[in-house]
Structure 1
Amino acid sequence: MWRRSAGLRLGLGGLGTLALAWWWATAGAHGTSVLAARFSPAATLSSLAGLLQQPDFFQHAWASLRRVLAALAIALLAGVPAGLLVGGLQRVDAALSPAFQFLRMVSPLSWMPIVVMVLGVGDRSVLFLLAFAGVWPILLNTAAGVRQLDPRWLLLARSLAATRAELLCRVILPGVLSHVLTGLRLSIGVVWIVLVPAEMLGIDAGLGYFILDTRDRLAYSELLATVLVIGALGFALDGAARRLQRWWVPGQGPAP
């Protein structure tokens, strides 16, 4: 309990330092700048309070969250089976790992022109970019989990005449679950970063679209307020992933 309380105080202190640096950059160091005043904490928090009273803003936030959750579901459906194959079969690993590593190093945003030409402007293009960005942490962590399984458990299951389905569901999947959840948490961070530029592909809803709209309206305080909302939602998603990991894998201990 004492360690948790001390960690909370340190975390609040870090956030307070960040807020102080924000004030200094916009008001303390540039108190006479009109442009800096538009990005000040007072103007931003005032705009944030106004945005939170607008139903349209919540619709933009929900549109972004919906896309992120759908992309994570697609990444899990694709990444976990691929990770099981790569981690469990040496020939599959040798054949596919170089291609996966190559694709992983290509920025998802570099696919934007091609994706728009193939899928058109809309949710499908955004979902593809987000899922492409999020699949690699899940795939690689799943493969790493399979490689770290204790071979004695597999030998014991086979000696008890376990079928392939039983071996998969009762030995392999529970054994790699911690790695899958770690990959999911990493994937959330990557997908959330790619979300905003991906939502600038001509769609009419989402936090990325809303940022472009505030820029076009020169509503700089609303722009920065939206940035705060994006950071808060991403922080909440990461916290939910950490709690899920601690709850589902209780022996692992707190996630960093």
Structure 2
Amino acid sequence: MADAKPGAGKGSAWVGRLAWPLLGMAITLGLWAVAARYISDVDVIRSAFAPQAGLKALLHLLGSGELWPHISTSLQRIAIALVLALSIGVPLGLCLGLSPLFARISGPTFQFLRMVSPLSWMPLAVMALGVGEAPVIFLLAFATVWPIMLNTAAGVAALDPAWMRLAHSLSATRWETIARVVLPGCISHILTGFRLAVGIGWIVLVPAEMLGVSSGLGYFVLDTRDRLAYDELMAGIVVIGCLGFVLDWLARTVSSHWLQRG
């Protein structure tokens, strides 16, 4: 019997890996089509919500360039918010993990604030920061700081106490202990918190961008609703889902590569 070709197994594996996602997408499109048929008694509205109309509008919006500025603006906002969340959440998480006194004093307050929906702060954010970019970024940073902070604290708590004793026996300073022992030891927890923050921030982004701004995917969805352009609305929803999927994949990929390198 002739030996199988070396690439045959890899080829079949790739087919298997692609077949199931494609089947899932086909089922999703089918459910979308069925739901569009029953969403309204008006034929024009039903046809506007159908997959054919939404995908056609998506191709038109991307081809004409109308959607790209909104995509760029939303990605810039989420990037700025995540940088702020990292710069605040990691130090706070280290303080929670390293200082039992700080954890006892601030822990209940942080838990209380974490359970308040970021969207609840919309009116206060507008009054304090005005209308524009600042309140949107504030809401995104407020939503994304908690998973980073709590996962950082969990990473510190999971450190082997022997490492801390070794650093102390070597007369390492507080900063040297944090930089050489604590941060490398809890980096996996920080990356997990960052990935969770990306997902939470992307979910909060759309309603936050309905807050007095004139660009972004949230604004685009609100604008299409007001214009009764339901096909474009569905196109916007598809773009939001695709970008969210890509952002999560990027965060997961960066995390896995970093951990493998370490």
Whole-Å separation in 2 of the counterparts to 1:94 and 1:54? 55
Q: Indicate the SS of the match to 2:66.
A: helix
Identical positions, percent: 52
Contact 2:39 2:46 in 1 (8 A): no
* Deviation for aligned residue 1:12: 2.7
2:259 to 236, 246, 249: 249
Whole-Å separation in 2 of the counterparts to 1:119 and 1:29? 39
2:231 aligned partner: 221
* Deviation for aligned residue 1:8: 4.2
Matched, 1:168 2:168: no
Deviations 1:119-178 (A, max 9, x none): 110000001000000000000000000000001111112222222222111111011110
* Larger-gyration structure (1/2): 2
* Deviation for aligned residue 1:25: 1.9
- Listed as ranges, the matches of 1:77-88 within 5 Å are 77-88=87-98
The residue type equivalent to 2:222 in the other structure is: L
Q: Between 29-38 and 40-49, report the one with greater CA deviation.
A: 29-38
Q: Indicate the SS of the match to 2:250.
A: helix
2:112 aligned partner: 102
Q: Indicate the SS of the match to 2:212.
A: coil
The residue type equivalent to 1:87 in the other structure is: G
The residue type equivalent to 1:118 in the other structure is: A
Whole-Å separation in 2 of the counterparts to 1:62 and 1:187? 19
| Structure 1 residues 202 and 30, CA gap change in structure 2 (3 angstroms) | closer
List runs of 5+ in structure 1 lacking aligned partners: none
Whole-Å separation in 2 of the counterparts to 1:28 and 1:117? 42
Matched, 1:212 2:222: yes
List runs of 5+ in structure 2 lacking aligned partners: 1-9
* Deviation for aligned residue 1:4: 7.3
Matched, 1:18 2:28: yes
Whole-Å separation in 1 of the counterparts to 2:239 and 2:46? 20
Matched, 1:156 2:166: yes
- Listed as ranges, the matches of 1:104-119 within 5 Å are 104-119=114-129
RMSD: 2.0
Whole-Å separation in 2 of the counterparts to 1:29 and 1:99? 44
* Deviation for aligned residue 1:193: 0.7
2:150 to 130, 140, 148: 140
1:76 aligned partner: 86
Whole-Å separation in 2 of the counterparts to 1:164 and 1:141? 21
Contact 1:83 1:141 in 2 (8 A): yes
Deviations 1:73-101 (A, max 9, x none): 00000000000000111111111110000
* Deviation for aligned residue 1:9: 3.1
Contact 2:38 2:46 in 1 (8 A): no
TM-score, length basis structure 2:
0.91
* Deviation for aligned residue 1:19: 1.3
| Structure 1 residues 29 and 227, CA gap change in structure 2 (3 angstroms) | closer
Contact 1:31 1:37 in 2 (8 A): no
Whole-Å separation in 1 of the counterparts to 2:178 and 2:95? 12
Q: Between 100-109 and 151-160, report the one with greater CA deviation.
A: 151-160
Whole-Å separation in 1 of the counterparts to 2:143 and 2:13? 35
Matched, 1:230 2:240: yes
* Deviation for aligned residue 1:107: 0.4
| Structure 1 residues 243 and 5, CA gap change in structure 2 (3 angstroms) | farther
